Chain A
Amino acid sequence: MQEFLQQLINGLAVGGLYALIALGYTMVYGVLKLINFAHGELFALGAYLGLTLLTALGLAGGGPAAVALILLFAMGLVALAGYLLERVAYRPLRGSGRLTAVVSALGASIFFQNAMMLVFGAKARVYPGGILSGEVFTLLGAQIPATRILLLASSLLLMLLLYWFIHHTRTGAAVRAVSLDQGAARLMGIDVNRVISLVFLIGPALGAAAGVMAGLLYGQIKYDMGVLYGLKAFTAAILGGIGNIPGAMAGGILLGVIEALGAAYISIAWKDAIAFCLLILILIFRPTGLLGERTADKV
């Protein structure tokens, strides 16, 4: 029970990160029907920018307020990177085939990854420890570090904000309209290009937040960390039903928990394989995901 609770909390904390990254995949897929392979790299970029700001501003001992500030900075900068990515690598390909855009996304991913390696170095970098409280709660005998709770809470907060924005604002309604039917949205007077740009600001910003949080959670970041996280977050997006925003949140958290429990009770060595097996099984048996709607588009 104690072990289970411990793993559950671990899983929820990691799942929150997966969910934040998955939101970027799912929103882009919603409006462009494109798997943004460079999204994982934007997540890693967020982690690096967070660390750079943290050390440059000397905020390593600043507590949660400093972390929040860093988080916002990193989110803003990565949002800009996401915007540029769409303008340079995806917008010129609008209307050409799916494969063309996918290859462009792969190229952008390789570009970002190696740019980060050149700028930040090929070795893993260490996040300063104990920025957030080092306190550890004891709940029913399970040891729960306060950092995990704080991270889980912040990712949930970001998700709630996004949910509110998408479902309760005019702009959010425009995003939903574009993902339903681009042509019809345009006829209704929605500026589709602006909506797509907006999605490429929001998605990467959430990814960057996840990047900083991953640094705080694990204490170590590496230039190629975006690949594995990206693939897993994409799995989470599929799990929840790609294009579906609450689905990505649920899928991310579920994947984090499944992985943590699988690692604890099956074998830690097979942890990464669990996510990919899950991905294949979902695509075979329920390609619309858990919360995905049935669509006319044949999968």
Chain B
Amino acid sequence: MIAARRSLLSWSAFFASLAALPPLLPLLGVDGGGAVQIGVLNDIGIYLILALSLNIILGHAGIFHMGHTAFFAVGAYAAAILNTSCGWPILSALPVAGLLAALLAFLVAVPVIRLRGDYLLVVTIGVVEIVRICLVNNIFGLTGGANGIAGIGRAVILGRRLTTPADIFYLIWSFAALSVLLFSLLENSRFGRALNYIREDEVAAAGCGINTGRHKIQAFVLGAFWAGMAGTLFAVKTRLVDPESFTFSESVMLFAIVILGGAGSMAGIVLGTFLLIGLQEIFRDFLEARMLVFGAAMVAMMIFRPQGLLPARARRYDTGGRTGASPGAAGREKKPGPPAGNGAAGT
């Protein structure tokens, strides 16, 4: 419990210090009141929410899923269409966008979830491409073709219109904080433990009475639901959605964030998102060389540190002294064995 409290504290400190940034940046004399920096943080926030949702699928359940952009796109377009064509306030589209993305995920997952890892990877890549081609081809006359949908209305919360990057910042990062809270509860739930068991050994998990197929589909659908809601936030932020925002390379980026940060580890994913998206923004001047370095770094990471930058720690539970250890010993840091839980090294 001490560990849980400590982690709650450090997460609160992290989000609180981020929340202090928008009023602080102008005071520190950052150019233009820090609007650019806030914009970058908004991008990072959206990617963080997406990466956290992918983490359930890829990190916890160990499903090789490289098509997360497809669900993100469905959520963003659903929100955009509901707002511009049906006149819904954009934020009220949030649950519907999530549900539509979840529906797509369900339809994709049911037939293919039992495929072996790398085949599944290819199917999910195919899904991203199919979704993107549908968007470009203006499917059902709804998606606006290659130009996408512009003119999405501003979000309104409690009568306040969100107009500045700072307003959007608080919206996105509150959602990110909520995601961290809910996903950490999920991780430590019976469901989360079952997913980890499936990742480590599917046959043994099935032997212990876990319905592996159903759990994997649930993880997939849940991750997609969250990505769909992230899509709505994206629509709120950019007020324009077009197919070019949802390409295969975005999927690869998300995949890389989870794997390089540390599959199954939320702190790792936060670090990964800041590094990959943040550095990408900082090194905009070296636009061409940065992806070269990124590719080489991915190879090097897999050779030297396949478990990611901040790998997930093995779970420890307070046994209440029943195994003979004194109750106080449970919270003490023991030397961890080889990390049992990291999807990167698992097959």
Task: Give me the interface of A with B, judged by CB distance under 8 Å.
Answer: 35, 88-89, 92-93, 96-104, 106-115, 117-118, 122, 227, 231, 234-235, 238, 269-270, 272-273, 276-277, 279-280, 283-284, 287, 297-299
Find chain B residues with CB under 8 A from A287 CB: 115, 119
Q: For residue A272, which residue of chain B has the nearest CB?
A: B133
Q: For residue B66, which residue of chain A has the nearest CB?
A: A106
Q: Which of A88, A97, A283 contacts B346 (CB 8 A)?
A: A97
Question: Are B344 and A99 in touch, CB under 8 angstroms?
Answer: yes
Given contacts A106-B256, A107-B297, 8 further A-B contacts (CB under 8 A): A99-B117, A104-B298, A107-B298, A107-B302, A110-B292, A112-B295, A118-B289, A273-B134
Q: For residue B260, which residue of chain A has the nearest CB?
A: A103
- In the complex, A280→B129 CA distance in Å? 12
Find chain A residues with CB under 8 A from B117 CB: 98-99
Question: Are B295 and A114 in touch, CB under 8 angstroms?
Answer: yes
Given contacts A96-B345, A100-B344, A111-B299, are A35 and B134 in contact (CB under 8 A)?
Answer: no
- In the complex, A118→B288 CA distance in Å? 7
B187 to chain A, nearest CB (A): 20
Question: Are B303 and A92 in touch, CB under 8 angstroms?
Answer: yes
Find chain B residues with CB under 8 A from A238 CB: 119, 122
* A-B contacts, CB under 8 A, total: 136
26 A-B pairs with C-beta separation under 8 A: A88-B299, A93-B302, A97-B306, A97-B344, A97-B345, A97-B347, A98-B117, A98-B118, A98-B347, A99-B343, A102-B121, A104-B303, A107-B302, A114-B292, A118-B288, A122-B288, A227-B248, A231-B126, A238-B122, A270-B137, A276-B126, A276-B127, A280-B123, A280-B126, A283-B119, A284-B111
B255 within 8 A of A: yes
- In the complex, A235→B123 CA distance in Å? 10
Question: Are A101 and B302 in touch, CB under 8 angstroms?
Answer: yes
Question: Are A111 and B123 in touch, CB under 8 angstroms?
Answer: no
Residue interface bits B29-50, CB-to-A below 8 A is 1, else 0? 0000000000000000000000
Question: Are A100 and B123 in touch, CB under 8 angstroms?
Answer: no
Question: Are A35 and B295 in touch, CB under 8 angstroms?
Answer: no
Find chain A residues with CB under 8 A from B130 CB: 273, 276-277, 280
User: For the side of the interface on B, what is the size category?
Assistant: 35 or more
Given contacts A97-B346, A276-B126, A287-B115, are A35 and B121 in contact (CB under 8 A)?
Answer: yes
A298 to chain B, nearest CB (A): 7
Q: For residue B118, which residue of chain A has the nearest CB?
A: A35
- In the complex, A283→B119 CA distance in Å? 8
Please give me the 5 A-B residue pairs with the lowest Cβ-Cβ distance, nearest first.
A107-B298, A111-B295, A110-B295, A276-B126, A97-B347
Find chain B residues with CB under 8 A from A106 CB: 252, 255-256, 298
Main DSSP-derived SS at the A contact region? helix
Task: Give me the interface of B with A, judged by CB distance under 8 Å.
Answer: 64, 111-112, 115-119, 121-123, 125-127, 129-130, 133-134, 136-137, 248, 252, 255-256, 259, 288-289, 291-292, 294-299, 301-303, 306, 343-347
- In the complex, A206→B181 CA distance in Å? 51
Find chain A residues with CB under 8 A from B302 CB: 93, 96, 100-101, 103-104, 107
Question: Are A89 and B299 in touch, CB under 8 angstroms?
Answer: yes
Find chain B residues with CB under 8 A from A35 CB: 118, 121-122
Most buried by B among A35, A96, A273: A273
Question: Are B298 and A269 in touch, CB under 8 angstroms?
Answer: no
Given contacts A284-B112, A299-B115, are A107 and B64 in contact (CB under 8 A)?
Answer: no
Question: Are A273 and B133 in touch, CB under 8 angstroms?
Answer: yes
- In the complex, A103→B262 CA distance in Å? 13
Find chain B residues with CB under 8 A from A118 CB: 288-289, 292
Most buried by A among B252, B302, B303, B344: B302
Question: Are B347 and A107 in touch, CB under 8 angstroms?
Answer: no
Most buried by A among B64, B133, B137, B346: B133
Q: For residue A34, which residue of chain B has the nearest CB?
A: B118
- In the complex, A88→B299 CA distance in Å? 9
Find chain B residues with CB under 8 A from A269 CB: 133, 136-137
Q: For residue A273, which residue of chain B has the nearest CB?
A: B133
- In the complex, A96→B122 CA distance in Å? 20
B114 to chain A, nearest CB (A): 9
